[in-house]
Amino acid sequence: MLRFVTIRLLRAGLTVLSVMTFAFVVLRMSGDPAQVLLGPDVPQNIVQDFRDRWGLDDPIWRQYLSYLRAMLQGDFGLSMRDRSPAIDLVVERIPATLQLTIPALILQLALGIPAGIYAALKRGTLADRGVIVMAIIGFTVPSFVMGLLLVLVFAVVLGALPSGGASSWQHAILPVLTMSIGGIGVLARFSRSAMIEVMGQPYIRTASAKGVRWSDVVRKHALPNAAVPIVTIVGFMVGSLIAGAIIVETIFSWPGMGRLLIVSVTNRDLAVVQCILLLVAAVMVVSNLTVDLLYGWIDPRLRQAPPTH
Amino acid sequence: MNNLVEIRDLRVSFDGVPVLHGIDLDVAPGEALGLVGESGCGKSVTWLAALGLLPGKADVSGSVRLRGRNLAAARRLALERVRGGQIAMIFQDPSSALNPVMRVGKQITEVLRLHRGLVGASAKNEALRMMDLVGIPDARNRFGRYIHEFSGGQAQRLMIAMALAGEPDVLIADEPTTALDATIQAQILDLLVDLRHEMSMATVFISHDLAAVAQICERVCVMYAGKIVEEGPVRHLFDRPYHPYTRGLFDAIPSLTGPRRRLVPIPGAVPDPRYMPSGCAFALRCDRARDFCKQHRPELLPQPGGRQLACAYPVPEARDILHHQEEYQ
């Protein structure tokens, strides 16, 4: 078990390091922060000053090494825009993003999984078809289209909800809905197929043949077996929620991390972008790690046997 | 005779395709009945249908009476009391027929709770006794293990323990040894024989292994393409099979004694249930079939010696067969 966790942690660290490296290189290859931040009409000596101050003329490997060295000391760099620590700018935005992503995740779990299980148990009926159709619509319509559609209906036509901003809890409704609909669809489909697969297994027939009540066959025998594929998908979805936040926060002018990322990328504010990417990578890695550990808890077959040699 | 289970005209179709064409079958208390036939002939479907365990798309008609009570008309709750409590079933490939994420001990105590009202320590002790009874060594330590930690033979013993936990009147053993090694097969068969005597329960042994059926059963039914084609006491029927299909089954088995001879396979294959011939289902593969067989479906009719047969032109050694198929039509 210890070996398993250690290997996983090392792999997780390696993943985060690759993401950081990749982001570092790509950001520096794809545009000059001095040009973007200062604008085209600034005198050459000011531009050169700026380049010197941020070390932009150093060879990229030297920039990278000093970046790594700073990271190891817990220094995430300064924002090129206002020279405040990048990490503070990002941390400041985290609560706003969580206000959208946590309710969205809860909504996805609370609606997606039951809908999928229900459809599986009613396989072939009108209810099943209904769930499938809704699920397909949910995850095929891109979130920016879904967001605009919701704004059109609830803000423009009905006038019931605000279309942007973050001054009250009502403002969160449309962004949360936009973020969760795709995930609800994905979860419903996966839960449905996982459940159909499990319900066809011989041990389910054995449970029925023992005289176990139908509802207990589903609850005690089928659900624990269907949990593994469902948990896998939930792990992926946590990552994609963070990614989804970028689009949704932009549509609804929500002052979260996603919008900060867009602004910072446009401005080539390197330290801030790197900070956010690091955080996103860390969230994905942690959720995958959690999923791996959950597997062993859910399915005894996946528990690593202690090494015998 | 006072039968425990009486199945009458049991018919099953999947998506409109009939797979079981009217089965009549009795099980007396304590008897050992064998059901033999090729895979897909309806041996298992008969009992899955009787217990209401077929998927929803299956269309089941006919009657199944347990001590005179019709199960086909029973409500789900009543049926759940019968399953495992009066009629228990064990399946082939025990490793996949037991829940992989539930501790094996819990799978046994579940039956004890449902059918004997045992919970807590008394359920655990009884489950340990059952595990002991079926020959699981060191039961106390293995009570909390999972099924993948057991070998195939041990898994089948566990499934038998689980089935017996409800103290059923009938145990349906659906190919219980098919997925096991030959040496383990023999152990499981011995166990089934012993337990049947010990617990005085009837056993229905579903198998395509004729030798196993001969070892375990007193009476045997031969099924072909969703019908019973021959039935009788096991020794009598195996000594002198009347039905050409039963005869074919024996000719296809290598013999250890006597001169070496060529095995005779049954030509052709079981007809597709969607295109079942209007006459005898075996006619196309039968070297004794005549025109009559292709047009008339033979009925299962009583024969001397307590046997039954559905064939118009049986194997010739059987001189005492009543040739009234043609009159019957």
The answer, yes or no, to whether residue B326 has pLDDT greater than 70, is: no
Residues of B in contact with A208 (CB under 8 A): 53, 83
Identify which of B200, B302, B100 has the alpha carbon closest to the alpha carbon of residue A298: B100
From chain B, which residues contact A within 8 Å (Cβ)? Answer: 48, 51, 53, 57, 76, 80-85, 88-89, 91, 93, 96-102, 110-111, 114-115, 146, 148, 159, 162-163, 166
The nearest CA of chain B is from the CA of A208 a distance in Å of: 7
Give me the pLDDT at residue A308, please. 42
Could you tell me which chain A residue has the CA closest to the CA of B112? Answer: A210
Quick one: pLDDT band at residue B319, thresholds 50, 70, 90? Answer: very low
Number of Cβ pairs closer than 8 Å across A and B? 76
Domains of chain B: 5-217 (3.40.50.300), 224-328 (no CATH)
Identify which of B1, B4, B207 has the alpha carbon closest to the alpha carbon of residue B87: B4
The nearest CA of chain A is from the CA of B99 a distance in Å of: 5
Residues of B in contact with A221 (CB under 8 A): 99, 102
Could you tell me which chain A residue has the CA closest to the CA of B51? Answer: A209
| B85·A298 Cβ contact <8 A | no
The nearest CA of chain B is from the CA of A200 a distance in Å of: 9
Residues of A in contact with B85 (CB under 8 A): 211
- Report how far residue B224's alpha carbon sits from residue B227's, in angstroms, rounded to the nearest whole number: 5
Could you tell me which chain B residue has the CA closest to the CA of A296? Answer: B101
Report which of residues B199 and B323 the model is more confident about.
B199
Mutate to test the interface with A, among B45, B53, B80 (most CBs of A within 10 A): B80
For residue range A62-112, what is the model confidence (pLDDT) as tens digits? 888 888 888 888 888 888 888 889 899 999 999 999 999 999 999 999 999
- Report how far residue B224's alpha carbon sits from residue B205's, in angstroms, rounded to the nearest whole number: 16
Residues of A in contact with B82 (CB under 8 A): 211
Residues of A in contact with B84 (CB under 8 A): 209-212
Instruction: Calculate the alpha carbon distances from A28 to A87, A269, A276, B8, B179 in Å.
Output: 19, 11, 16, 82, 62
Could you tell me which chain A residue has the CA closest to the CA of B149? Answer: A301
- Report how far residue B216's alpha carbon sits from residue B233's, in angstroms, rounded to the nearest whole number: 12
Give me the pLDDT at residue A34, please. 80
| A210·B98 Cβ contact <8 A | no
| B115·A205 Cβ contact <8 A | no
| B91·A206 Cβ contact <8 A | yes
Quick one: pLDDT band at residue B325, thresholds 50, 70, 90? Answer: low
B35 φ, ψ to 5°?
A: -120, 115
Instruction: Calculate the alpha carbon distances from A72 to A10, A63, B328 in Å.
Output: 16, 14, 95
Domains of chain A: 15-72 (no CATH), 94-193+229-297 (1.10.3720.10)
The answer, yes or no, to whether residue B50 has pLDDT greater than 60, is: yes
| B146·A203 Cβ contact <8 A | no
Q: In this structure, what is the dihedral angle of CA atoms A47, A53, A58, A63, given to the nearest 10 degrees? A: -130
Give me the pLDDT at residue A3, please. 80
- pTM (2 d.p.): 0.83
Mean pLDDT of B172-188: 89
Quick one: pLDDT band at residue A306, thresholds 50, 70, 90? Answer: very low
From chain A, which residues contact B within 8 Å (Cβ)? Answer: 124, 201-203, 205-214, 220-221, 224-225, 298-301
The nearest CA of chain A is from the CA of B88 a distance in Å of: 7
Residue with tokens 């097969």: B185
